[in-house]
Chain A
Amino acid sequence: QSALTQPRSVSGSPGQSVTISCTGTSSDVGGYNFVSWYHQHAGKAPKLIIYSVTKRPSGVPDRLSGSKSGNTASLTISGLRAEDEGDYHCCSYAGPQSFGYVFGTGTKVTVL
């Protein structure tokens, strides 16, 4: 199972919006509505911020939103803030081939 493709880095100024793409195949992203996103600060464990493509866990601000079209999922961060810096990872259920998960290559977000 190949990793999902994400841009290596994105950046934006405070208050701006950035979007991170996550491209897979019809066997993972395109085949299931089980796409999650995780935010990871340097040296820390990842934290769930989006699940089931569009849902936010309790406590995650609505500035963060998820979507999916075909084999590509996207995470949009609106009103960029300093605390949004870090690495973002997408993840999709990988189907009956492994009954497991495939992660994205990771995207570093920099707030200018």
Chain B
Amino acid sequence: EVQLVASGGDLVKPGGSLRLSCAASGFTFSNAWISWVRQSPGKGLEWVGRIKSKSAGGTTDYAAPQTGSFTISRHDSKNTVYLYMNSLKTEDTAVYYCTTEGAAGIDYWGQGTLVTVSS
């Protein structure tokens, strides 16, 4: 069974930084592309960015608003992906989900971790 457990969400002040983790199990992690998707309170979903498998180059893509302030990395021996968020703004307040990305798009979702940016 595919499991994705996101953690690291917290209350942080504007301008601060935070690192989220996504621990995966139930599939061959090294072959997986992982995307982060967020959901602001009472709002829709927003794609944040992805990291490809090492065999596909291990490169990252980001949504335009996150380019430069968010960084995604992976540690295949720990079956874990990280989302580093810098220069956080109040509008970054959201539940952050890690997901797997198959050939046809985003498929499995983890349970999400809440990030609150507030002074």
Q: Residues of A with Cβ closer than 8 Å to B? A: 1, 3, 34, 36, 38, 44-48, 51-52, 55, 57, 89, 91, 93-94, 98-106
A102, B65: Cα distance in complex, Å: 13
User: Do B49 and A46 touch (CB < 8 A)?
Assistant: no
Cβ of B111 < 8 Å from any Cβ of A? yes
| A45-B97, A99-B61, A103-B44 given; A34·B110 CB < 8 A | no
The list of the 6 closest CB pairs from A to B, nearest first, reads: A103-B45, A45-B109, A101-B47, A106-B44, A51-B104, A99-B61
User: Do A91 and B49 touch (CB < 8 A)?
Assistant: no
A94, B37: Cα distance in complex, Å: 14
> In this complex, what residue of A is CB-closest to B112?
A45
Picked from A44, A51, A98, A99, the residue with its CB within 8 Å of the CB of B105 is: A51
Report 28 cross-chain contacts, Cβ distance below 8 Å, ordered by A residue. Answer: A1-B63, A3-B44, A36-B105, A38-B109, A44-B111, A45-B97, A46-B45, A48-B106, A48-B108, A51-B107, A52-B104, A52-B105, A55-B104, A91-B45, A91-B105, A93-B105, A98-B63, A98-B64, A99-B61, A100-B35, A100-B49, A100-B50, A100-B62, A101-B37, A101-B105, A103-B46, A105-B44, A106-B43
**Residues of chain B within 8 A of A38, CB atoms compared:** 45, 109
Min C-beta distance of A77 to chain B, whole Å: 19
User: Do B106 and A89 touch (CB < 8 A)?
Assistant: no
> In this complex, what residue of A is CB-closest to B105?
A36
Q: Which of B50, B61, B63 has the most CB of A within 10 A?
A: B63
Min C-beta distance of B96 to chain A, whole Å: 11
> In this complex, what residue of A is CB-closest to B95?
A45
User: Do A1 and B64 touch (CB < 8 A)?
Assistant: yes
> In this complex, what residue of A is CB-closest to B97?
A45
User: Do B47 and A102 touch (CB < 8 A)?
Assistant: yes
| A1-B64, A52-B104, A100-B63 given; A46·B44 CB < 8 A | no
Min C-beta distance of A112 to chain B, whole Å: 23
> In this complex, what residue of B is CB-closest to A46?
B109
**Residues of chain A within 8 A of B47, CB atoms compared:** 94, 100-103
Min C-beta distance of B51 to chain A, whole Å: 12
